[in-house]
Structure 1
Amino acid sequence: MTHSNVRGEGAPSGATGGISGGVGGSAPGAVPRPRDGSGSGSAGPGTAGPAGPPRRGRRRVLRWVSSVLALVILGTAGAGYLYYRYMNGSIRTDALNLGDSRLGKSKPNAFGQTPLNILLIGSDARNDKENQALGGAKDTFDGPPLADVQMLLHLSADRSNMSVVSMPRDTMIKMPKCTDTDGKVYQASRGLVQTNESLSRGGPGCTVAAWQEMTGIPIDHFMLIDFKGVVAMADAIGGVPVCVQQNVISRNSEGKGSGLKLPKGQNVIQGEQALQWLRTRYGFEDGTDIGRTHAQHMYMNSMAREFRKNAKLTNPVKLNSLAQAAIHAMVVDPDLNKIDKLFDLSMELKKVPTGRITMTTMPWVYSTREEGRVEPKPVEAEELFKMVRDDVALDGKGQPQTGASPSAAASAAPSQPPAAQAAPPARIAVLVRNATGGKDGEENKVKGRSTDVTSLLAAKGFTKAVADSQVAGEDTTLIRYAGLDQAADAQAVATALGLPASSVQRSTDVTGITLFVGKDWRTGDAPKPAAPALNKAPDSARPLNGDNDKECMEIQPGFTW
Structure 2
Amino acid sequence: MSHSVVREDEKRPEGVAEAEGNGGGSRHGRRRARPRRKHRVLRWSATTLAVLILGTAGAGYLYYQHLNGNLGKGERSSGDSKAKKAAPNAAGQTPLNILLIGSDSRNSDENVKLGGSKDNRGNPPLADVQMLIHLSADRESAAVVSIPRDTRVDIPKCTDPKSGQVYPATNDIINTTLARGGAGCTLATWQNLTGVYIDHWMTIDFAGVVRMADAVGGVEVCVNQNVHDRPLPGVPGGSGLKMKAGRKEIKGKQALQWLRTRHAFYSDLGRAKAQHMYMNSMIRTLKSQNVFTDGGRLMDLAEAATKSLTVSEEIGSVKKLYDLGMQLKSVPTDRITMTTMPNTEDSQDRNHLVPEPAGAAKMWQMLRDDVPFDDKGSSSKKKTAEKASKDPAAADDQIAVTVQNATRSSTLGPADGRARAVTDVLLGKGFARAGADATAGLSEERTVVRYPSAELEGDAQRIAKSLGIPLSSVKRSTDVSGVTLVVGSDWREGTTYPKQSDPKAGDLPKNSDELNGADSSKCMDVYKPYQW
TM-score (norm 1): 0.80
Alpha-carbon spacing, 1:167–1:465, altered in 2? closer, same or farther (3 Å):
same
1:382 to 354, 357, 361: 361
Distance 1:33 1:265 in 2: 39
RMSD over equivalenced CA pairs, Å: 2.7
Distance 1:480 1:189 in 2: 24
Query: How far apart are 1:401 and its partner, in Å?
Result: 8.8
Distance 1:233 1:335 in 2: 22
Alpha-carbon spacing, 1:514–1:208, altered in 2? closer, same or farther (3 Å):
same
Query: How far apart are 1:158 and its partner, in Å?
Result: 0.8
The answer to whether residue 277 in structure 2 is matched with residue 277 in structure 1 is no
Partner of 2:134: 154
Partner of 1:184: 164
Contact 1:402 1:533 in 2 (8 A): no
Distance 1:542 1:532 in 2: 21
The answer to whether residue 140 in structure 2 is matched with residue 171 in structure 1 is no
Distance 2:50 2:209 in 1: 30
- Structure 1, residues 105-129: CA drift from partner, whole Å, max 9, x if none? 3322232101111110111112222
SS at match of 1:233: helix
The answer to whether residue 471 in structure 2 is matched with residue 501 in structure 1 is yes
Partner of 1:98: 78
Distance 1:153 1:462 in 2: 44
Query: How far apart are 1:33 and its partner, in Å?
Result: 4.9
- Structure 1, residues 394-419: CA drift from partner, whole Å, max 9, x if none? 11333359999xxxxxxxxxx97401
The higher-RCO structure (CA 8 Å, 6+ apart) is 1
SS at match of 1:111: coil
- Structure 1, residues 115-145: CA drift from partner, whole Å, max 9, x if none? 1111101111122222222121221223221
Partner of 1:204: 183
Alpha-carbon spacing, 1:466–1:258, altered in 2? closer, same or farther (3 Å):
closer
Partner of 1:488: 458
More divergent stretch after superposition (93-102 vs 263-272): 93-102
Distance 1:164 1:313 in 2: 23
Partner of 1:394: 373
| Equivalent AA in structure 2 for residue 268 of structure 1 | E
Distance 2:419 2:189 in 1: 29
Query: How far apart are 1:530 and its partner, in Å?
Result: 2.2
| Equivalent AA in structure 2 for residue 551 of structure 1 | K
Alpha-carbon spacing, 1:33–1:523, altered in 2? closer, same or farther (3 Å):
closer
Partner of 1:559: 530
TM-score (norm 2): 0.84
The answer to whether residue 114 in structure 2 is matched with residue 134 in structure 1 is yes
Alpha-carbon spacing, 1:210–1:85, altered in 2? closer, same or farther (3 Å):
same
1:545 to 497, 516, 519: 516
Partner of 2:241: 260
Distance 2:363 2:290 in 1: 32
The answer to whether residue 69 in structure 2 is matched with residue 89 in structure 1 is yes
1:430 to 397, 401, 424: 401
SS at match of 2:209: helix
Partner of 2:391: 420
Query: How far apart are 1:495 and its partner, in Å?
Result: 2.4
Alpha-carbon spacing, 1:90–1:401, altered in 2? closer, same or farther (3 Å):
closer
5+ long unaligned stretches in structure 2: 1-40
- Structure 1, residues 137-189: CA drift from partner, whole Å, max 9, x if none? 22122322111101011111111111111011111223222111234324224
SS at match of 1:229: helix
Distance 1:318 1:75 in 2: 15
Alpha-carbon spacing, 1:189–1:462, altered in 2? closer, same or farther (3 Å):
closer
Query: How far apart are 1:260 and its partner, in Å?
Result: 1.1
Distance 2:55 2:223 in 1: 51
Contact 1:177 1:188 in 2 (8 A): yes
The answer to whether residue 404 in structure 2 is matched with residue 446 in structure 1 is no
Distance 1:281 1:442 in 2: 28
SS at match of 1:505: strand
Larger Cα Rg: Structure 1 or Structure 2? 1
